[in-house]
């Protein structure tokens, strides 16, 4: 099978790889239907990189597929089932997993010698889904309705992370929300905030194309931060007190988020930039008693994510802007690098 293989910072190859096989009783062989290019993939392919990855692994961690074969111990999945896949299932054995913190599993980055087939994030530290088939443990597989378009099902991984972060913020009907950044993650946050009943959603984004997408995803007001004063607009929209919640989906704007919220307001720091070292006005956090949360992976959220996608309650079709075959992976990368795409979904070709 053909595959996109990470070689070193700034370099990947399009090469032949053997089709994986079931080796364990709880394995599931999955025919890939679609896999999204994540911002993390762009960071991995930068030189110097902004995110680590293991050389010679098949890339791709946001994906859906169809069950092709199951191991002898798997009795709740069958060939033909459409599924979404958690690329970073917890090992279940480390201290974090055994203390109700599976999203912090110590095995997500390095293979554990005791459980080598159940650890390390797929597409980053072991083989992922920019190819035709993957083999994963059954605990990582979740059914989704057969009529779900593959390009929307491929959003399950980022949506699970966003959904769990939204639950931390406890956004409720009537809340005011500011979202910094209208990339795929910012738009998912916008759509989820709207679905949770937020009355006003202010989205700050310098690119007009993304601002217009934000409106379609639930924003009630869009702001160009290069031309408008975001703080003044947030105060104007909230009778002068600031928003209830601010979601940072960029990676470098934590101080801006702190500034936008009301006293005792809530901030979600979600944008992932390993190089960011922004100056923070600590006194403002103390004086306003700001509650700051970090968001990374979804916790037990994939089952719920599948139901959310099936429901059609979110305008996910606005977020997937391009679909390409595996052989045109580079085209998708270039569109993303040039800011001309939001979510690009790749599908494998038959050779």
- The CATH number assigned to the domain holding 63 equals 3.90.180.10
How far apart CA 139 and CA 75 sit, in angstroms, is 12
Q: Are 196 and 220 members of one domain?
A: yes
Neighbours of 200 (CB within 10 A): 18
Q: What is the pLDDT of residue 32?
A: 98
Q: What is the pLDDT of residue 310?
A: 96
Q: Are 151 and 14 members of one domain?
A: yes
Q: What is the pLDDT of residue 119?
A: 52
Q: What is the pLDDT of residue 159?
A: 97
Is residue 87 within 8 A of residue 122, CB to CB? The reply is yes
Q: Are 61 and 174 members of one domain?
A: no
- Asked, for residue 6, whether it belongs to a domain, the answer is yes
Q: Are 150 and 167 members of one domain?
A: no
Is residue 190 within 8 A of residue 201, CB to CB? The reply is yes
Q: Which domain holds residue 265?
A: 163-294
Q: What is the pLDDT of residue 115?
A: 40
Q: What is the pLDDT of residue 120?
A: 74
Q: Are 130 and 206 members of one domain?
A: no
Q: Are 205 and 266 members of one domain?
A: yes
Q: Are 78 and 177 members of one domain?
A: no
- Asked, for residue 111, whether it belongs to a domain, the answer is no
On the CB side of 102, CA atoms within 13 Å amount to: 17
Q: What is the pLDDT of residue 117?
A: 46
Q: What is the pLDDT of residue 116?
A: 45
Residues (pLDDT < 70) of the chain are 108-119, 351
Phi/psi region, residue 123 (left: phi>0; alpha: psi -120 to 50; beta: rest), is: left
Nearest-Å Rg of the Cα atoms of the chain is: 20
- Asked, for residue 299, whether it belongs to a domain, the answer is no
- Asked, for residue 110, whether it belongs to a domain, the answer is no
Q: Are 146 and 209 members of one domain?
A: no
Domain count, the chain: 2
Q: Are 230 and 286 members of one domain?
A: yes
Q: Which of 294, 311, 334 is the last residue of a domain?
A: 294
Q: Which residues of 148-167 are buried (b: 16+ CB within 10 A; e: fewer)?
A: bbbbbbbbbbbbbbbbbbbb
Q: What is the CATH number of the domain that holds 225?
A: 3.40.50.720
- Asked, for residue 194, whether it belongs to a domain, the answer is yes
Catalytic positions: 40, 43
How far apart CA 192 and CA 230 sit, in angstroms, is 22
- Asked, for residue 106, whether it belongs to a domain, the answer is no
Q: Are 195 and 264 members of one domain?
A: yes
* pTM for the predicted model, two decimal places: 0.92
Q: Are 274 and 220 members of one domain?
A: yes
Q: Are 241 and 133 members of one domain?
A: no
């Amino acid at each position: 099978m053909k595959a996109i293989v990470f070689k070193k910072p700034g370099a990947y190859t399009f090469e032949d790889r053997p089709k994986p096989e079931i080796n364990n009783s709880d394995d599931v062989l999955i025919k890939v239907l679609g896999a999204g290019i994540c911002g993390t993939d762009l960071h991995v392919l930068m030189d110097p990189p902004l995110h680590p990855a293991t050389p010679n692994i098949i890339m791709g961690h946001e994906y859906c597929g169809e069950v092709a074969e199951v191991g002898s111990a798997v009795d709740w999945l069958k060939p033909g089932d459409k599924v979404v896949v958690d690329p970073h299932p917890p090992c279940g054995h480390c201290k974090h997993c055994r203390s109700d913190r599976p999203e912090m599993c110590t095995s997500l980055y390095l293979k554990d010698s005791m459980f080598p087939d159940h650890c390390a994030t797929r597409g980053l530290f072991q083989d992922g889904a920019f190819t035709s088939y993957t083999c994963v443990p059954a605990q990582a597989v979740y059914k989704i309705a057969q009529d779900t378009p593959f390009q929307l099902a491929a959003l399950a991984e980022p949506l699970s992370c966003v959904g769990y972060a939204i639950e931390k913020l406890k956004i409720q009907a009537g809340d005011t929300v500011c979202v910094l950044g209208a990339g795929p993650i910012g738009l998912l946050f916008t759509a989820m905030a709207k679905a949770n009943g937020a009355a006003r959603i202010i989205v700050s984004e310098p690119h007009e194309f993304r601002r217009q997408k934000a409106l379609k995803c639930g924003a009630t007001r869009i702001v160009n931060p290069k031309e408008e004063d975001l703080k003044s607009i947030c105060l104007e929209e909230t009778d002068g007190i600031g928003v209830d919640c601010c979601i940072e989906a960029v990676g470098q704007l934590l101080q801006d988020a702190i500034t936008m919220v009301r006293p005792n307001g809530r901030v979600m720091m979600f944008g992932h930039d390993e190089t960011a070292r922004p100056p923070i006005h600590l006194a403002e956090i103390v004086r306003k008693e700001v509650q700051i949360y970090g968001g990374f992976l979804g916790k037990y959220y994939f089952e719920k994510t599948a139901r959310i996608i099936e429901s059609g309650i979110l305008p996910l079709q606005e977020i997937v802007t391009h679909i390409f075959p595996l052989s045109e992976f580079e085209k998708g990368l270039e569109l993303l690098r040039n800011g001309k795409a939001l979510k690009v979904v790749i599908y494998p070709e038959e050779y």
